[in-house]
Amino acid sequence: MESMKILVIDDEAHITHVVSLKLRNLGFEVVTAGDGEEGYELARQHKPDLIITDLQMPYLTGLEMCAKLKALKETSHIPAILLTARGYALSPADLDRTNIKEVMSKPFSPRGVAEKVEEVLKECGGATEAEAA
Amino acid sequence: MRSAVIVNLFLALGGALLCAGVTLLVSEHVIDLEGSRAWALLGAAIGAIGAPIFATPLVMSMSRSLASFEADLRASVEVEGAEPIRTTGLLATSRRAVDELRATLVDRAQALTTKVREGEIRQHLGEAEREHLETVLNSLHDAVIVTDAFNELKLANEAAASLLGFDAGDSLHQSIDSVIGDDELRKMIRDESATASVGHRKRTDHQFPQFAHGGAEADAPTACYDVTLACLPDAKKGAGGVVTILRDVTQEREISQVKSDFVSKVSHELRTPLSSINAYLELLVDGEAQDEDARQEFYSIIRSEADRLSRLIDNMLNISRIEAGIVKIDRTEVDFKKATEKAVGVIVPQAALKEIAVTVNATPLACTAMADADMVQQVLLNLLSNAVKYTPEGGRVIVTVDNDDHEGAVLVTVADTGLGIPPDALPKVFDKFYRIENYKRVAKGTGLGLALVKHIVETVHHGVVTVTSELGMGSKFTFTIPYEYEGA
């Protein structure tokens, strides 16, 4: 678990800072990005085990970025958690075109995010490894 | 008819005998001659026999004519549903019968005249009611269409004709297929008619293209209509058609959407700093700050995010108060040169961090206006703060203060050598919560600063605020405050 890599994307620097701090304290390797486009590039580059992303961001929204990543073979297996300040419910179409597994609302608890990360990694770990292989 | 002939024969015979008797008596008393008596008796006999022979055809002809006349007369005055006129064949030959018949005819004629007048009155009333109904319907902004059981147009007001692009007069009694171009609306009317359930009602929203006279424009925008369909009863209380009422709710829906978007934006803007405060507090509570420096950093972030939240709430409340017209305005003679120097003094430390030079070019003349000093200060600070935030290091901010005597107002410009504003964003920069998406990383903001500037300048002080910008070259915000506002 310690070697797992998580990409955190938010245009609010304090949010990426606090989330990455919590995850690093739990032993995860964390990469951060400040907008959707940067997040997309870092996901392709690092191929993280999980992505935590904001919804409304410059250049690419969280949904658009996740959809682009799912469309790419090399990143299609990466699960994502949407962390948003807008009340947002994923439509079946959103679920279908992205690999978003959970939606969390702001304000959030870093403990809550950590628990959700472990749940998603546990749920997707087998599939992720199998697909990656 | 036969009995009348027999009676007439007897009458003719009696008459003949009477003539013969009279002739005989006269002959006996007046002509008392032997020879003449015999001739008289012969004449009487011939009279008695000849009179019925000549009288009978005459009487029969008269009887037939009278009977025919009576029958014709009766047939001509018979009224459907009225009690039949009672006469006997014998009456046709009597004066009394004709009188009775004439009296009956007069009564019938009067009754018919009365009925015709009543009908005319009802017709006039009906026409008046219809005209009144049409006037009422045409005064409605809502479109009203009434169709019958055969889905033909029975009634439509001017709003309906205008909305759907047909001529209300020419289209009456025509099928909705040839009158209503909108497929979905036709289907709604047919479906409602098919329910054949009097009192049945249906409401739904429907998008219509905005029609020009005679038809829809190719790129016409759509309007949202609230459509109510109700099944109408006919004269026998069965389902006899449909009334369709279309109400334009485009504006209501837009307002509702704007409200919803506003609440969503407010929620988003409040949640963002609250998230940081909440998350850093939790890390502190959980002892996840590694050292004192980390703890101090967390405290500092919490403080700055709390300030951000406070500013956001203040701005929102100020805008709301101005919009609601309940803001307290304290008008005094404001010296705009001094006000500008004060605002620049506040912003210079922030500009110095980015080595941005802030210059003030003020007219040597007095530059004052009746205004709320605190609000003017807020305007100047918001414009200067934006200029510094969106100007790269080493840039310049130039403030100009002057009098526009032609407009009778103080004129202030805040120009920078910053990023500039994309042309598509220029019309939206004064909107509440609008932020240029790609500049969010450049600087923090609530998206309310310029909205507040516009409200203070235009709503409170009846001045004007404008912006010009060239992408990559910088922006220039200009505002005027009238020297005096007569309505104040």
Mean pLDDT for the stretch of residues B8-35: 54
Is B328-482 a domain of CATH 3.30.565.10? Answer: yes
Mean pLDDT for the stretch of residues B138-145: 91
Mean pLDDT for the stretch of residues A86-100: 83
Strands A100-105 and A80-84 come out as parallel
Class of domain B140-248: alpha beta
**Cα dihedral A121, A123, A125, A130 sign:** negative
Cβ-based contacts of B282 with chain A (< 8 Å): 109-111
**pLDDT exceeds cutoff 90 at B269:** no
Cis geometry, peptide bond prior to residue A107 (ω within 30 degrees of 0): yes
Cβ-based contacts of A108 with chain B (< 8 Å): 275, 278-279
Q: Which residue of B has its CA nearest to A10?
A: B441
- Residue B219's pLDDT is 60
How close is the nearest chain B Cα to the Cα of A13, in Å? Answer: 9
Digit-coded pLDDT (tens) for B152-202: 998 899 999 988 888 877 888 899 998 888 889 999 999 888 887 777 888
In whole angstroms, give the CA distance from residue B113 to residue B445. Answer: 88
Query: How many Cβ atoms sit within 10 Å of the Cβ of residue B276?
Result: 25
From chain B, which residues contact A within 8 Å (Cβ)?
264, 267-268, 271-272, 274-280, 282-283, 286, 288, 301, 305, 437-438, 440-441
Nearest C-alpha neighbor of A77 from the set A131, A28, A126, A10: A131
Spatial contact of B474 and B420, defined as CB atoms under 8 Å apart: yes
- Residue B380's pLDDT is 96
Spatial contact of A20 and A8, defined as CB atoms under 8 Å apart: yes
Q: Number of C-alpha atoms within 13 angstroms, CB side, residue B153? A: 23
**Cα dihedral B308, B314, B319, B323 sign:** positive
Q: Which residue of A has its CA nearest to B437?
A: A58
Topology classification of domain B254-322: Helix Hairpins (1.10.287)
Closest to A106 (Cβ–Cβ): which among B272, B283, B286?
Answer: B272
Q: Which CATH architecture has domain A5-132?
A: 3-Layer(aba) Sandwich (3.40)
Digit-coded pLDDT (tens) for B300-349: 999 989 988 998 888 888 888 888 888 888 899 999 999 999 999 999 98
Digit-coded pLDDT (tens) for B433-461: 888 877 776 777 778 889 999 999 999 99
ipTM higher than threshold 0.85: yes
Q: What percent of chain B has pLDDT over 70?
A: 78
**pLDDT exceeds cutoff 90 at B388:** yes
Q: What percent of chain A has pLDDT over 90?
A: 67
From chain A, which residues contact B within 8 Å (Cβ)?
11-12, 14-15, 18-19, 21-22, 25, 34-35, 56, 58-59, 85-87, 105-111
Closest to A106 (Cβ–Cβ): which among B275, B283, B440?
Answer: B275
Cβ-based contacts of A61 with chain B (< 8 Å): none
Question: Residue ranges per domain, chain B?
Answer: 2-77, 140-248, 254-322, 328-482
Q: Do B276 and A14 touch (CB under 8 A)?
A: yes
Element (DSSP H or E) covering residue B231: strand B222-233
Mean pLDDT for the stretch of residues B239-259: 87
Q: How confident is the model at residue B240 (pLDDT cuts 50, 70, 90)?
A: confident
Q: Which residue of B has its CA nearest to A34?
A: B441
How close is the nearest chain A Cα to the Cα of B241, in Å? Answer: 41
Spatial contact of A89 and A107, defined as CB atoms under 8 Å apart: no
Q: Do A108 and B278 touch (CB under 8 A)?
A: yes
Query: How many Cβ atoms sit within 10 Å of the Cβ of residue A20?
Result: 20
pTM of the predicted model as reported, rounded to 2 decimal places: 0.59
Nearest C-alpha neighbor of B452 from the set B265, B345, B321: B321
